[in-house]
Amino acid sequence: MKNRKLLMIPGPVEFTPEVLAAMGLPTTSHVAPNFIEVFGQALERLREVFLFPGSQPFVVAGSGTLAMDMAAANLIEPGDRALVVSTGYFGDRFAAILERYGAQVTVVQPPAVGDAPPPEAVAAALRQGPYKLMTVTHVDTSTAVIADVPTLAGLGQEHGALVVVDGVCSVGGEELHPPEWGVDVVLTASQKALGVPPGLAILLAGPRAMEAFRRRKTPVQNYYADWANWLPIMEAYEARKAAYFGTPPVNLIWALNVSLGQILEEGLEARFARHRHLSDAFKAAMDAIGLSQVPVSRYRAAHTLTAPYYPEGIDARLLGLIGQAGAIVAGGLHPAIRDRYFRVGHMGAVAPSDILTTVGAIEWALARSGYRFDVGAGLAAAGRVLAG
């Protein structure tokens, strides 16, 4: 009997064999010619994968929270006003980070958990500005809610705010067109839809953001996150020259370059369509077995993960049974509903067989828990969508 379970949480995700092989390569020096070439190519490929030409990439050892921290540290000075459009736990986290750097933060909250603030409410808040910066969480991992970035970014630009998009659970899986939509900064982490093991904070800053950084009147209050320390490093590697500020995670960057190449080979539009298709199949399965979801409507639901509520009488013990059946899923995260739902990631290298395996594991666990439903209905629903 195999002793490995399918990892279907909202990050880390399953990785391709080629990415894992890159992680296992003998570690080279960070100034070795072959690594310099790999790092330089990865920086160039990031602009293509993010669909963000003309931006400045930063790749730093750390998590998605570090990427958020870098955006705040470099763009906020004490007393600046910032607007946070929150759809869950990570929107609220961004507010806390901005406040740490002295920002006067206004948070626009959704009318209910699983919803998003209406554009009218965001516009009304912006009219109370001016705001230097506005943040939008593209997909909040705690609620599986996707934000209407084109509309919100357009409002931010209209009112003169820099628009920062937290794409930790979206980049590489959800459609995003930063320049066309009016986005100034996009940030993410390696372990989600980019398909690389945890450990890289990745941020791309557009021209307006870089100009705002250069016009700062006060020093950046975070030494490690300071773009002034990292910019010469990124520029040097892209020019295929060695440079040093802090030792880069060599194997992770090697793996990142492999994954970026695979993403570009698949094609961004095809990749977005694949994520939509697999998400539709999984959500159809949840509907078929009677599990409602945290997002208040399908329009609000992300394509990189699904957040189903437990049926009445079922609790988090279900997760252990799903694991026994061969799939690992995640518990709830949003504090208001933490014990009422679970989360399933389906992003990156996920395939139709992974969707079917996970649906089957959930059905088996529900049946073992005494939940009465038409066993097999979820698999049939997912199969119909996948076949279609």
Asked whether residue 317 falls in the same domain as residue 330, the answer is yes
Both structure tokens of 98: 């901005």
Both structure tokens of 220: 């950046």
385 Cβ contact partners less than 8 Å away, ≥ 6 residues apart: 277, 280, 281, 284
| The pLDDT value given to residue 221 | 97
Asked whether residue 312 falls in the same domain as residue 256, the answer is no
Side-chain half-sphere CA neighbours of 330 within 13 A? 22
- Dihedral pair phi/psi, residue 276, rounded to 5°: -65, -40
Asked whether residue 137 falls in the same domain as residue 100, the answer is yes
Asked whether residue 35 falls in the same domain as residue 164, the answer is yes
Residue 294 is given by DSSP the state: S
What is the count of structural domains for the chain?
2
Rounded distance, CA 49 to CA 101, Å?
Answer: 30
Residue listed under structure tokens 């992300």: 302
Give the number of residues written for the chain.
388
Both structure tokens of 163: 């628009």
118 Cβ contact partners less than 8 Å away, ≥ 6 residues apart: 111
> Would residue 362 count as lying in a domain?
yes
Both structure tokens of 334: 């949003």
> Would residue 1 count as lying in a domain?
no
- Dihedral pair phi/psi, residue 237, rounded to 5°: -65, -40
Asked whether residue 72 falls in the same domain as residue 203, the answer is yes
**pLDDT tens, N- to C-terminus, the chain (388 residues):** 467 899 999 999 999 999 999 999 999 999 999 999 999 999 999 999 999 999 999 999 999 999 999 999 999 999 999 999 999 999 999 999 999 999 999 999 999 999 999 999 999 999 999 999 999 999 999 999 999 999 999 999 999 999 999 999 999 999 999 999 999 999 999 999 999 999 999 999 999 999 999 999 999 999 999 999 999 999 999 999 999 999 999 999 999 999 999 999 999 999 999 999 999 999 999 999 999 999 999 999 999 999 999 999 999 999 999 999 999 999 999 999 999 999 999 999 999 999 999 999 999 999 999 999 999 999 999 999 999 8
End-to-end CA distance of the chain: 33
Establish whether the linkage from the previous residue to 130 is cis, with ω within 30° of 0: yes
Rounded distance, CA 186 to CA 208, Å?
Answer: 13
CATH code of the domain in which 302 resides: 3.90.1150.10
Residue 128 is given by DSSP the state: T
Asked whether residue 377 falls in the same domain as residue 285, the answer is yes
| Cβ proximity of 172 and 262 under 8 Å | no
Is 55 exposed, middle or buried, given 0-12, 13-18 or 19+ CB atoms closer than 10 A? buried
Asked whether residue 274 falls in the same domain as residue 251, the answer is no
CATH code of the domain in which 138 resides: 3.40.640.10
Rounded distance, CA 188 to CA 200, Å?
Answer: 9
Per-residue pLDDT reduced to its tens digit, 22-41: 999 999 999 999 999 999 99
Q: Give the domain range for residue 319.
A: 6-11+268-387
Residue 291 is given by DSSP the state: -
Rounded distance, CA 176 to CA 301, Å?
Answer: 15
Rounded distance, CA 377 to CA 67, Å?
Answer: 41
Residue listed under structure tokens 């300071």: 226
| Cβ proximity of 99 and 72 under 8 Å | no
Rounded distance, CA 149 to CA 174, Å?
Answer: 11
Residue listed under structure tokens 């690594």: 35
